[in-house]
Structure 1
Amino acid sequence: MISESVLVQAVTRGILTDQQATDLRSLARQMNAAAIPEPEDDEKLRLVSGFSDIFVTLGLALFTGALAYLTERLGLTTMWAVLAVTAWLLAEFFTLRRRMALPSIALLVLFAVAVFSCATYLLGAVLGVAVEPDVSEILGSGDSLIFVGAALLTLALTALHYFRFRVPITIAAGTAALAVAVIGLISAVAPGFVEVYLKPLVLLTGLGVFALAMRFDLADPQRATRRTDIAFWLHLLAAPMIVHPLIAQLSEGADMSTVAPAVLAVFLALGIVAVVIDRRAMLVSGLVYAGYALGSLFQRVGFADTTTPLTALALGAFVLLLSAGWRPVRTGLLKLLPSHLAHRLPHPILSS
């Protein structure tokens, strides 16, 4: 589109007359008004800006994989330290200078995992304890404080990474490290409590992450700034932390076919929340459990030989129907909410 300054210069230099410039402005306004508006309820996420992102990410995987293989003989602590430093240095070029989305995400994930793993091995070596950087080892372990220290160091370094590179997924990585630190600290203080109440604890932590994601979402209702990308990754982190313990608690010690209706009811509730906040992450996380529940129901009514295709067909149809009717369904749900709340949500599509 020709800018106003170009039109002014064209009139000044005699390329266009005043009337011609006015006609061009009028034509531009008419074309903008007639243009098909971009769907308001799409989740904009800058993941791949071009095939070069995929090409570079493949190169990064090959390079860092080979580097890990060559440095592993020097010790796991050294290997992870080298990978963390390498990820930072590569981000200086591909993130800070080239602004490539997918490589930036891959390098941040590698950096966070490498820092956590290196810190775990290093603290274990200092304390004379052989540990593995496996989050599941935190629970019921006498070495929980090692994981707390590693998680806090990861949180600090990912914060520095964000201030340097501003990659949106970094906030989710730091939040995950903080969640590990909190659960690890509780496990160190009261290991019996964590073993008994692990699922509710993870659920509460997930709800806290969800609240943080909603804070970013509500601060950018039109999803026009970096906050919407930060919120997306936080929702993606919160979803399994909410869905997994919830479904696991329902199905614990019971036949899946008997609790399938309850699982499907939870999935439906998650779907309603996903539509209202205009985020699909929670719905995607619940698909696995919904598929398992549907499969159990199909087996129960005698469709054992066709359980897998029937389950895939039912879930696929549901996803496609919901995607096709996402906006009208969302409009109907928002009308059921108080007006002041509906207008604060992302993409408030209610009429004023």
Structure 2
Amino acid sequence: MVEVTQGDLRAAVAAGMVSEAQAASVQALAAQRLAGAPARDDEAFELFRGFAEIFISVGLLILMSGIMGLAAMSGDALVLSIVGIVLSMGLARYFTLKRRMVLPSIVLVCGYALAVLVLLGWLVLSNMTTQTGLRGSLLTVFGGTLAALLLWYRIFRLPFTMLLIGLSGLMVMLAVAAPYETMAFLGRQDFDVMFDLWQGSRLAFTTLVFGLAAAAAGLWFDMRDPHRLGRYSASAFWLHLLAAPAIVNTLAQTALGLVGAAQFVAMACVLVVMTIFALVIDRRSFLTAGLGYLAWLIWALASRSGEGLDWPVVLILIGGAVTALGAWWVPLRARLMRVLPDFPGKDRLPPYAKGAL
């Protein structure tokens, strides 16, 4: 007897044979029978589907390294980058479009992005003059990379591409708003000034705007796939991973610029708002992405104020909160969603158990 896979359910939804809610119910029933946990209460995450994908990915890395090595013997960066682009796209037609393999597809899109970056970097360096500005050069390199990755996403529909698109978009925004501050930051690592909104740093404003934009884009994808069965939800996952650290970094560094108890109050507000937002959109990944960095900031803040919270205390506080959230995520979200008034898009968010405690 043929087993029905998640891919079969997605195909049935796309063909209009079943609704998203019906497919999600079938998934929940299957997961409950196998592991005792409803699939809709969890956040899907997939890097590979078996060791075969790891094996093929290793082979692809070796194969591409050998071919790129031959191309490098020509001593021409243009030839090297073009070979990388053609090779990545050619292999992706089989492993991404035909075989639907996750990890090999990630390897190929990373190779493609690197080849495009090398090509554009070579073109910029080859045509650089004394009148060529830093902003124009960065926009050419990262703007071109962004366009190339958008093309890849349109052709291959690979959700992981959104992570690379987001990073390229961040570099484009930095090139437009704060190119010189970005280069200065890379040289001196001055967090206190570079990411403090009170200092009027363009770098801080740019990263905050990027984080909010990435969260908004992720939410847009989520609302198109509330039952999280297709690539829209998977694409949103990678955008939320970028959004949370960017927002936390800017707001927390700004909180460090306050004085006395205001620092702790501001840090607590950042954590509470992030938690509420993560619960509303039902994204554990959004909250998880910023927790490690937030733990370091709390420790740094306590050390700076002289009260001396040690690492074990910080880890106990953060770990206890995360464990409690993980254990009671579903009922907490259900209660929060019932308390919140109706707002635009609420019915397009992932469903919640209205009868939960």
The TM-score with structure 2 as length reference comes to: 0.73
- Paired AA for residue 167 in structure 1: L
Give distance in 1, aligned partners of 2:180 and 2:308.
Answer: 50
Give distance in 2, aligned partners of 1:252 and 1:90.
Answer: 50
- Paired AA for residue 343 in structure 1: D
Residues 1:250 and 2:255 are matched in the alignment:
yes
- The 10-residue stretch of structure 1 (76-85 or 204-213) with the greater mean CA deviation from structure 2: 76-85
Partner of 2:10: none
Residues 1:326 and 2:317 are matched in the alignment:
no
Aligned residues: 308
Residues 1:226 and 2:231 are matched in the alignment:
yes
User: Which runs of structure 2 are paired with 1:64-75 in the superposition (5 Å)?
Assistant: 64-65=64-65, 74=75
Partner of 2:164: 173
Give the conservation status (yes or no) of the 8 Å contact 1:260–1:296: no
Residues 1:148 and 2:151 are matched in the alignment:
no
Give the conservation status (yes or no) of the 8 Å contact 1:247–1:289: no
Partner of 1:161: 152
Give distance in 1, aligned partners of 2:224 and 2:337.
Answer: 18
Alpha carbons of 1:317 and 1:106: their partners in 2 closer, same or farther (altered >3 Å)?
Answer: farther
User: Which runs of structure 2 are paired with 1:159-238 in the superposition (5 Å)?
Assistant: 159-187=150-178, 196-238=201-243
Alpha carbons of 1:84 and 1:311: their partners in 2 closer, same or farther (altered >3 Å)?
Answer: farther
Partner of 1:50: 50
Give distance in 1, aligned partners of 2:219 and 2:68.
Answer: 38
Partner of 1:94: 95
Give distance in 2, aligned partners of 1:248 and 1:82.
Answer: 43
Partner of 2:320: 317
Partner of 2:41: 41
Give distance in 2, aligned partners of 1:117 and 1:246.
Answer: 34
Q: How far apart are 1:42 and its partner, in Å?
A: 0.9
Give distance in 2, aligned partners of 1:2 and 1:50.
Answer: 19
Q: How far apart are 1:40 and its partner, in Å?
A: 2.0
Give the conservation status (yes or no) of the 8 Å contact 1:260–1:293: no
Describe the superposition over 1:87-115 as per-residue Cα deviations: whole angstroms up to 9, x where unpaired. Answer: 22221222122211112122212322331
Give distance in 1, aligned partners of 2:331 and 2:314.
Answer: 26
Q: How far apart are 1:149 and its partner, in Å?
A: 1.6
Q: How far apart are 1:71 and its partner, in Å?
A: 5.1
Largest Rg, 1 or 2? 1
Give distance in 2, aligned partners of 1:76 and 1:261.
Answer: 53
Q: How far apart are 1:288 and its partner, in Å?
A: 2.3
- Secondary structure in 1 aligned to 2:40? coil
Alpha carbons of 1:44 and 1:244: their partners in 2 closer, same or farther (altered >3 Å)?
Answer: same
Alpha carbons of 1:165 and 1:297: their partners in 2 closer, same or farther (altered >3 Å)?
Answer: closer
Q: How far apart are 1:277 and its partner, in Å?
A: 0.8
Q: How far apart are 1:173 and its partner, in Å?
A: 2.8
Give the conservation status (yes or no) of the 8 Å contact 1:84–1:114: yes
Q: How far apart are 1:327 and its partner, in Å?
A: 0.5
Describe the superposition over 1:311-335 as per-residue Cα deviations: whole angstroms up to 9, x where unpaired. Answer: 3333333222211111111112112
Give the conservation status (yes or no) of the 8 Å contact 2:226–2:349: yes
Partner of 2:24: none
- Paired AA for residue 40 in structure 2: E
Give distance in 1, aligned partners of 2:160 and 2:250.
Answer: 23
Describe the superposition over 1:7-65 as per-residue Cα deviations: whole angstroms up to 9, x where unpaired. Answer: xxxxxxxxxxxxxxxxxxxxxxxx98x95662422112332211112222233334445
Partner of 1:61: 61
Give distance in 1, aligned partners of 2:76 and 2:318.
Answer: 46
Give the conservation status (yes or no) of the 8 Å contact 1:264–1:293: no
Q: How far apart are 1:263 and its partner, in Å?
A: 2.4
Q: How far apart are 1:260 and its partner, in Å?
A: 4.6
Gaps of 5+ in 2: 4-28, 183-193, 195-199
Give the conservation status (yes or no) of the 8 Å contact 1:94–1:100: yes
Give distance in 1, aligned partners of 2:179 and 2:291.
Answer: 34
Give the conservation status (yes or no) of the 8 Å contact 1:175–1:209: yes
Q: How far apart are 1:252 and its partner, in Å?
A: 4.7
- Secondary structure in 2 aligned to 1:268? helix
Q: How far apart are 1:76 and its partner, in Å?
A: 4.9
- The 10-residue stretch of structure 1 (80-89 or 143-152) with the greater mean CA deviation from structure 2: 80-89
Q: How far apart are 1:66 and its partner, in Å?
A: 5.4
Give distance in 2, aligned partners of 1:332 and 1:180.
Answer: 39
Alpha carbons of 1:295 and 1:186: their partners in 2 closer, same or farther (altered >3 Å)?
Answer: closer
Gaps of 5+ in 1: 4-30, 130-140
Partner of 1:308: 311
Give distance in 2, aligned partners of 1:243 and 1:40.
Answer: 28
- The 10-residue stretch of structure 1 (107-116 or 210-219) with the greater mean CA deviation from structure 2: 107-116
